[in-house]
Amino acid sequence: MTFNKNRAIELLKLGSGLPNAYFREGQEEAIRHVVEGRGRLLVVQKTGWGKSFVYFIATKLLREAGAGPALLISPLLALMRNQIAAAERMGVRAVTINSDNQDEWANVEAAIQRNEVDILLISPERLANERFRTEVLAGVAGRIALLVIDEAHCISDWGHDFRPHYRLLERIVRALPANLRLLATTATANNRVMDDLQIVLGPNLDVSRGGLNRPSLVLQTIRLPSQAERLAWLAAQVADLPGHGIIYTLTVRDAVQVAEWLRSRGLNVASYTGETGEGRAELEQALLENRVKALVATTALGMGFDKPDLSFVIHYQTPGSVVAYYQQVGRAGRALDAAYGLLLSGEEETDITDYFIESAFPARAEVRSVLEALEAAPEGLSVPELMARVNLSRGRIEKTIALLSLESPAPLAKQGTKWQLTAANLSETFWERAERLTELRRDEQRQMQEYVRLESGHMEFLIRALDGDPGTIRPPALPPLPSNTDPALVREAVAFLRRTSLPIEPRKKWPDGGMPQFNVKGSIPVGLQAQPGKGLCIWGDAGWGSLVRQGKYRDRRFADELVEACLRLVREWNPHPAPAWVTSIPSLRHPDLVPDFARRLAAALNLPFDAVLEKTDNRPEQKTMANSTQQARNIDGSLAINVQPLPAGPVLLVDDMVDSRWTLTVATWLLRSHGSGEVLPLALALTGHEK
């Protein structure tokens, strides 16, 4: 097929909206390679280079020459709004089938059958859907002229953002006709990833690889151990930074907290996380149009978002790998002469990245417990049913199932809503791969700590770590930002971190299967439910959380400061009805810890304290129960009322730690069943996650 250069330039101008647009180095050659069918091609170019223009222009040229549609597989459909809009300006009819647009599936499938779709975009997870493979993909497979694999590093075990369902592509690619056009694109492929992609995508894979230098970026690292110090630094510096940017955090909680802090200092920022939901598109647009100073974001605002004039990217904590950091910081300065890439390093980041590393693969014991549960149930088990049989969180069960189901051959398979064992055994290569990748992640973590300690040569370090040639690096003449913090601002940040309180929502239903010993199931009657409660902090966090941990495990007594903090919390909460008395959750292991705290709080509130609940038998600690169903069963039958009649009026129910809320739910049900007034739960700390 002949490549029409003039038409390609015309499409570039339409897509970019720039009448003077021109191809960047390597773009025209890549499009020509695809259109002329010269073989499989891997394009490795830094973010912002314009990889999407390569596959959309190639698709349009192929369609205009009478070829069939293209199929694009990407993990970033929710973040490809900008690229799809550019495709539509070029007249490319791009449609998606994903979990967010189920109402449109029938229309999209009909349009595909009528040959009215130029490029179909799907996520790798869609390839695991049997209905999609048999009813949609099978009908169009023979006509596909081009297969595009976006973010191709996700195929590789060594890729920083490995997506398990990308492993399905290896099997699909092997079955493709040798002459089918295949284009794979990524911004982040070091030598290990490149070797992997050569194996998966074929030995005759041509590679178009650009340089890694970001000449507009000024990179800097600043070590500020406490979150309060980093909050103070951000408050002092972000307002004075030119332009607009992104502040990255490692967790959703930190993104929300940092955004709240900066807003309290008068800065127009918003948090952007995987929990932002339908608000994502509006927040992206707000940043694109400079209506916010910055988005405080997790990696949910990662690959796929493109604002060429982003003037700063700040990291609140150190990411787990050079590849992830390079990709995120590289969002800044694409169309600017100079931009800042600042990395703030803190004491909690290692714990966070350790958790990501340790939870990436299931442990042998986790796999064994899932497989044994399925072996004992030949008819199969759903995920909720597995939760009742194995002491694993829902997330751990789902991850274990997902990874095992993608093995070849797979030891389990899904039939309807249930998972069943197959005849296959799990290969030892699964564990070898898990061990190899875990060690790689440890190496990457250590490498990022080396980067944190650098005083100069940051870009050179990143390029070498990515197996590139740094050559001569001349960063733009931007002055380094101050590394010190204002002590007064730090004190204000500490006060902010200690000012927050968290909601405790009452449970309204008993777990699946009910509570056999208490003989209850189904919905909890409204009159036996708790009122909405409050938690002082997140366990171990930068506010009160570390003091709660210290009181529980070191001092064996909660500090008077925590009594004062909860006194303020109750006064600000000002619940209606107000509590008339105070009680606490009992414990056989630490019989005095929570009652002692509750007595002191009751005295500060000028309320009587009555220990009316008792623990009837010794059960494992709730923290050893890994999911909500297990935690509910663990508390079933283990609490009782030991005083009759109960004091009159609403009661403040105090506990130190809340995770699944089952202990509070059962205690409330007992109190209300025995005639207490409304129950108002108060906890020193929430664990920060539900299972």
Model confidence pLDDT, tens digit, residues 321-356: 888 899 899 999 988 999 999 999 998 899 889 988
Residue linked to tokens 């350790």 = 354
Class of domain 357-432: mainly alpha
Phi-psi category of residue 236: left, alpha or beta, with phi > 0 → left and psi -120 to 50 → alpha: alpha
What mean pLDDT, rounded, does the chain reach? 90
442 pLDDT tier (thresholds 50, 70, 90): very high
Query: Above 80 in pLDDT, residue 65?
Result: yes
pLDDT in tens, 646-688: 999 999 999 999 988 999 999 999 999 999 999 999 999 998 6
Q: Which pLDDT score, from 0 to 100, does residue 192 have?
A: 83
What count of other Cβ atoms lies within 10 Å of the Cβ of residue 389? 18
- The yes-or-no answer to whether 217-348+447-488 and 498-686 have a common fold is yes
Closest to 538 in 3D by CA, of 656, 689, 688: 688
Binned at pLDDT 50, 70 and 90, residue 86 comes out as confident
| Superfamily (CATH H level) for 217-348+447-488 | P-loop containing nucleotide triphosphate hydrolases (3.40.50.300)
Q: What is the pLDDT of residues 538-574, one digit of tens each?
A: 887 778 988 999 999 999 999 999 999 999 999 999 9
Domain boundaries, the chain: 5-209, 217-348+447-488, 357-432, 498-686
DSSP calls for 494-534: HHHHTT--EEEPPP-BPPTT-BTTTTB-SBPPGGGSPPPEE
The torsion defined by the Cα of 504, 510, 516 and 519, in degrees rounded to 10, comes to 100
Task: Please tell me the predicted confidence (pLDDT) of residue 372.
Answer: 96
Collapsed DSSP state (helix, strand, coil) of residue 613: strand
By CB neighbour count within 10 A (0-12 exposed, 13-18 middle, 19+ buried), where does 157 fall?
middle
What residues contact residue 455 under an 8 Å CB cut-off, 6+ apart? none
Residue 7: band (very low, low, confident or very high) from pLDDT cuts 50, 70, 90: very high
pLDDT band at 304 (very low <50, low <70, confident <90, very high): low
The CA distance from 79 to 455, in Å, is: 35
Mean pLDDT of 398-416: 90
Name the band, by pLDDT with cuts 50, 70 and 90, for residue 690.
Answer: very low
CA 314 to chain centroid: 18
For residue 691, name the pLDDT band (cuts at 50, 70, 90).
very low
- Is the pLDDT assigned to residue 305 strictly greater than 80? no
Going by C-alpha positions, the residue among 678, 661, 685 that lies closest to residue 509 is 661
> At 657, is the secondary structure helix, strand, or coil?
strand
Structure tokens at 192: 């290990």
Q: For residues 315 and 313, what is the distance between their CA atoms, to the nearest angstrom?
A: 7
The stretches of 390-506 forming alpha helices (DSSP H) are 394-405, 428-452, 458-465, 487-497
Helix (H) or strand (E) holding 314, with range, is strand 312-315
> ∠399-405-408 over CA atoms, to 5°?
135
Fold classification of 5-209 (topology level): Rossmann fold (3.40.50)
- Under the banding of pLDDT at 50, 70 and 90, the label for residue 60 is very high
Confidence label for 246 from pLDDT (cuts 50, 70 and 90): very high
Poorest-confidence range of 14-18, 173-177, 639-643?
173-177
**pLDDT given for residue 194 in this prediction:** 86
Least confident of 156-160, 284-288, 296-300: 156-160
What number is the average pLDDT over the span 452-478?
A: 90
Burial group, residue 89, by CB count within 10 angstroms (0-12, 13-18, 19+) = middle
DSSP-derived pairing of the beta strands 269-272 and 294-297: parallel
The strand pairing partners of 219, in sequence order, are: 341
Tell me the one-letter amino acid at 471.
G
Mean pLDDT to the nearest integer, 148-168: 74
The rounded distance, in Å, linking the Cα atoms of 59 and 119 is: 7
Question: How far is C-alpha 415 from the chain's CA centre?
Answer: 28
Output DSSP code: residue 246. Answer: E
The sign one gets for the Cα dihedral 360, 366, 372, 374 is negative
Report the greatest alpha carbon distance in the chain: 91
- Residue 486 binned pLDDT confidence (cut-offs 50, 70, 90): very high
Confidence of residue 161 (pLDDT cuts 50, 70, 90): low
What angle separates helix 364-375 from helix 394-405, to the nearest 10 degrees?
A: 80
**Res 513 pLDDT > 90:** no
What's the CATH code, domain 498-686? Answer: 3.40.50.2020
pLDDT: which is higher, 188 or 367: 367
pLDDT in tens, 95-140: 888 777 778 888 888 898 899 999 998 888 787 777 787 777 777 7
